[in-house]
Structures are given as structure tokens and as C-alpha cells.
Structure 1
Amino acid sequence: MNQTPPPAGWRPMRIEGLIGLIGPLLRPDPRPDPQAEPPRYALQTDARHANPLGLVHGGVLTALLDQALALIAWEAAERQPTVTVQMDTRFLGAARPGDLLIARPRIRQLTRSLIFLDGEITVADRPVADATAVMKIQRRKGTPG
């Protein structure tokens, strides 16, 4: 886990797994009203996130997009598990170690079993990557739907 203090206005989230290893994933602090402001997540990059060219690795960008999309899918599915069925990622620009990556996920459409999403990553309002994704809701036994 990154030991660097989070930037002002951001707070670490406690999420295990890959994002915990490359993160922590950050959320705005204080937490905004979801009705008033779309969700945002961030990742403070450092030398660990670089590829051999000295840029933030595409796998880091993809992992951040997948995690941000999964978080809003989980909320939309009433906290039922969701899994990524498909995610198409486009790399639009470069990020460098030290950049704060801001992920902005949004739901395009929600059905009983699938969630269609879009997401983008920016650095200082400059596009770095975007994605479209489909997530499947894995309803727990005994849960209607």
C-alpha cells in the first residue's frame, strides 16, 4: 500500500485485492452527496506505477477504471456482487508517476441482470483513458431479481 499521505480533499478507502496493492483507492473527503455530484475516485501514482518508458502503466489505468466502475455497479445493484463481463479501454494520453489519476464512472443503463457503464480517467482535467463496460449482477440466493 502507498504510504504517501493522500492529497488534500481525498481520503483512502479500505479495499483489499489488487487495488489495495497499487493504491490505496481514494475518494473525496468529505464525501459528496451522490445526488448532487457524480462519483469520483482517485489514485496517487508514484514510481511503482511506471512502465519501462517511465509512464504510468496501462494496466494501472485499466485496474483503476475497472474498480471505479465496479463500485458504482455494486451500489446500483443494491450491493449485490457484480462481475465485469466486458470492458473496452481506450488510452487517450499519457500519465506520469506523481500524477493524481481521477476516475469518473457513470451508469449508462441498468437492467435486471446487466449494468452498462462508461468511465474516464483524467489528470488535471486532461483525458488519459476512457472505457465502456458491461457488468453482470450476481444475485445472492434468495434475493429477488
Structure 2
Amino acid sequence: MTRAQPSRARRTPDDLRDEGWRTAEEDGFIGLVGPFWSKEEGDVRRFGFVAEPRHANLVGVVQGGMLMTFADRGLGILAWAAAGRPAVTTSFEMQFVGAGHIGSFIELEGEVVQRTKTMVFMRGLLRSGRRPVASCQGSWKILSERRA
């Protein structure tokens, strides 16, 4: 008897829009690896991306660096919101606990652990469906307000 694989139904951009997910065109590095999607439900903002063949590593699952880039971006956006101004990553750590399969939709839900005058400390969990893929945590330095 074989064990059933978890459902990895492919979600199209139209499916995601119908579910309330939104994306924006981005330049720079994120423009090369995205698009990244976001969705707000009450006070919670989640992020996601469709794992494409270009995100694969040598064994055919999502490259760890892609998962780290995605999580850093999502938590960074949440850190900026918590700070009320730009913040930059000062440390970031990820623990891989499962594989992100090509064709799946990988989601991140993050939270602010602590905010001080100069730093924001964050943590997050990446999932594919209900299955955990990675956990992460990091800190973001709040930048000084720009003076004219």
C-alpha cells in the first residue's frame, strides 16, 4: 500500500486573484525571481509565490536560496510596516523542515516578535498547503528618517 501524496494543485494567477491575492511588478532582483503575491486578512498579511521550474535546485525541489529570498522580502515588508519607515535586514536565519515542490504555492506568514526604537525582530513560517517547508527569524535595522 502506498501513502497518498498531499495535493499540489497548481494555482494560476487568475485563481490567486480570485482568492484575494495581489501582486505588483517589481524591478531589480525581486523582478527576476518573482512575482511575489500578498494577501491581507484582517490584521494578518501573508505572502506567496508559485514555485516554477526556474526556482528548482539540482534535485528538483525549490532552491533554499529562493525560499530565503522570498522570506527575507516578506518579513522585510512587515518590518517596514512595523517601523513606519524603511528597515534593512541585519540578520536572517532559516531552518528547512520540508521540500517546496515545483508547481506548489509557497506561503509565508510572519510576525513581529519585538520592536524597539532602532530594531524590529521578526519570525515566520513557510508552508506549502498545510505542510511546513521552513521556519525563519531575523532582525531589521530601522533607518533614520532622511533629512533634506
1:131 alignment partner in structure 2: 136
Indicate the residue corresponding to 1:70 in structure 2: 76
CA RMSD after TM alignment: 1.7
Query: Is 1:33 matched with 2:61?
Result: no
4+ aligned runs moved over 4 Å, structure 1: none
> Alignment partner of 1:120: what SS?
strand
The one-letter amino acid paired with 1:103 is L
Of 7, 11, 15, 2:26 maps to 15
1: CA distance, partners of 2:123 / 2:42: 20
Which structure: larger Rg?
A: 2
Instruction: Give the TM-score taking structure 1 as reference length.
Output: 0.85
**Scaled by the length of structure 2, what TM-score is found?**
0.84
What's the counterpart of residue 5 of structure 1?
13
d(CA) in 2 for partners of 1:17 and 1:32? 28
Q: Which amino acid letter does the alignment assign opposite residue 111 of structure 1?
A: T
Q: Deviations over 1:47-88 (max 9, x none)?
A: 00001110100011000110010001111111x211110011
Q: Structure 2 counterpart of 1:5, which letter?
A: P
Aligned equivalent of 2:53, options 47, 51, 76? 47
For structure 1, the 5+ residue unaligned runs are none
What is the Cα deviation at residue 139 of structure 1? 1.6
Which whole-Å CA distance do the structure 2 matches of 1:93 and 1:6 have between them?
A: 27
Q: 1 CA distance for matches of 2:127 and 2:141?
A: 26
Match for 1:52: what amino acid? L
* Identity across matched positions, percent: 32
Q: Which residue in 1 is equivalent to 2:94?
A: 89
2:41 maps to amino acid: P
Whose helix proportion is higher, 1 or 2? 2
Q: Quote how far apart the aligned CAs of 1:6 are.
A: 5.0
| Cα 1:90/1:57, change in 2 over 3 Å | same
Query: Counterparts of 1:70 and 1:6 in 2: how far apart (Å)?
Result: 26
Question: Runs of 5+ in structure 2 lacking a partner?
Answer: 1-11
How many residues are matched? 134
1:57 aligns with 2:66: no
SS at match of 2:112: strand
Q: 2-side partners of 1:84 and 1:7: how far apart? A: 32
